[in-house]
Amino acid sequence: MFVAVLAIALALAAAEPVNAQVPQSWRSAFPETDFSRHAVPFDEIMSGGVPKDGIPSIDEPEFAPVAERRDWLADREPVIGLEINGDARAYPLRVLTWHEIVNDTVGGVPVAVTYCPLCNTAIVFEAKLDGRRLTFGTTGKLRHSDLVMYDRQTGTWWQQFTGRGIVGEHTGEKLEFVPARLESWGAFVERHPDARVLIPTDPNARPYGKNPYAGYDSARSPFLYRGPMPEKLPAMARVVVIGEDAWALELLRETGRIETDTHVLTWSPGQASALDARRIAEGRDVGTVTVQKKTPDGLQDAVYDVTFAFVHKAFHPDGSLHVGDEGGGD
């Protein structure tokens, strides 16, 4: 299935030339966006094969008690686990794969829960800037194979991996990251048995549970990516990213625990890859990573991401990549 998706998207991307000038199709689709302000070259932004909002965000999310949906997901299925001010919620990747953005309010805090399948980036942002609530949709564009979002209030385009505005009014500004875990459903339920889980508004709207990118994380190269490749790892090898530094997932899997001056990283088995088998629940085991920062009050969940080595290279070319005995970076 992934090969078919790739062929269609490549054809659509080729049909939309991107150069130093702003394509008229962009201006037509985003009349509110100030294209005179941008932090990246326009030729780094390309079509992902779908139009604006072609991958629809979830703007009025519905939830069910975990106890009522305990058997809806296999224990191995990946979810984004989020807790703010005692309000805990799970966002299954079987849903987010088809929508990529959930605009929500958790524990009284407006958030955007996001997932880019092409980078395996599960990131939560506080959806507020300068005291103003923002809601997000998908532009249908990619930069370095990563989701480019837009906010509906100003039309600014935002890079999902970095949280930075790259085109429009808020160019150069950054959204605040919110700590969350990419974990197995079983692990989330064990931590939060009284929590709630995101359910599809219309269960028949998408083939939830199926993976439209089957085989993607075993591919030799990433999808719609033109940037530099990592030197020490295959492009599609998973890495754990904290700030500009990254650790090979295989290294963490072998050791089970890595401790730095500021953080503790641990790995445990039991989470399926969302980008392997045709059914997410049947994906190979990539395990669950937990990252916590050291504080005077003990360990607390930290902002991190489990993504691919090419993503770290693209966005943090001068960052360190730790792969084993040699340590160091690309």
The SS3 call for residue 134 is: coil
- Asked if the structure places residue 121 within a domain, the reply is yes
CA of residue 47 relative to chain centroid, distance: 18
Each of the 330 residues of the chain gets a pLDDT tens digit; together they read 444 444 444 444 433 434 458 999 999 999 999 999 999 999 999 999 999 999 999 999 999 999 999 999 999 999 999 999 999 999 999 999 999 999 999 999 999 999 999 999 999 999 999 999 999 999 999 999 999 999 999 999 999 999 999 999 999 999 999 999 999 999 999 999 999 999 999 999 999 999 999 999 999 999 899 999 999 999 999 999 999 999 999 999 999 999 999 999 999 999 999 999 999 999 999 999 999 999 999 999 999 999 999 999 999 999 999 998 654 445
The secondary structure of residue 319, as a DSSP letter, is: S
DSSP collapsed to 3 states, 225-236:
CCCCCCCCCCCC
Handedness of CA 249, 241, 58, 217 (dihedral sign): negative
Residues 87 and 124: their CA atoms lie apart, in Å, by: 15
Q: Are residues 66 and 158 in the same domain?
A: yes
What domain range includes position 169?
A: 2-29+45-178
Number of domains in the chain: 2
Q: Are residues 14 and 130 in the same domain?
A: yes
Residues 113 and 95: their CA atoms lie apart, in Å, by: 12
pLDDT of residue 20: 57
Among candidate residues 251, 265, 330, the one with its CA nearest the CA of residue 304: 265
Instruction: Give me 222's structure tokens.
Output: 């990433």
| Pairing mode, strands 245-248 and 321-322 | parallel
Residues 98 and 276: their CA atoms lie apart, in Å, by: 16
Domain edge (last residue) among 178, 198, 232: 178
Q: Are residues 166 and 236 in the same domain?
A: no
- Asked if the structure places residue 201 within a domain, the reply is no
Kindly report, residue by residue over 197-230, the tens digit of the pLDDT.
Answer: 999 999 999 999 999 999 999 999 998 999 999 9
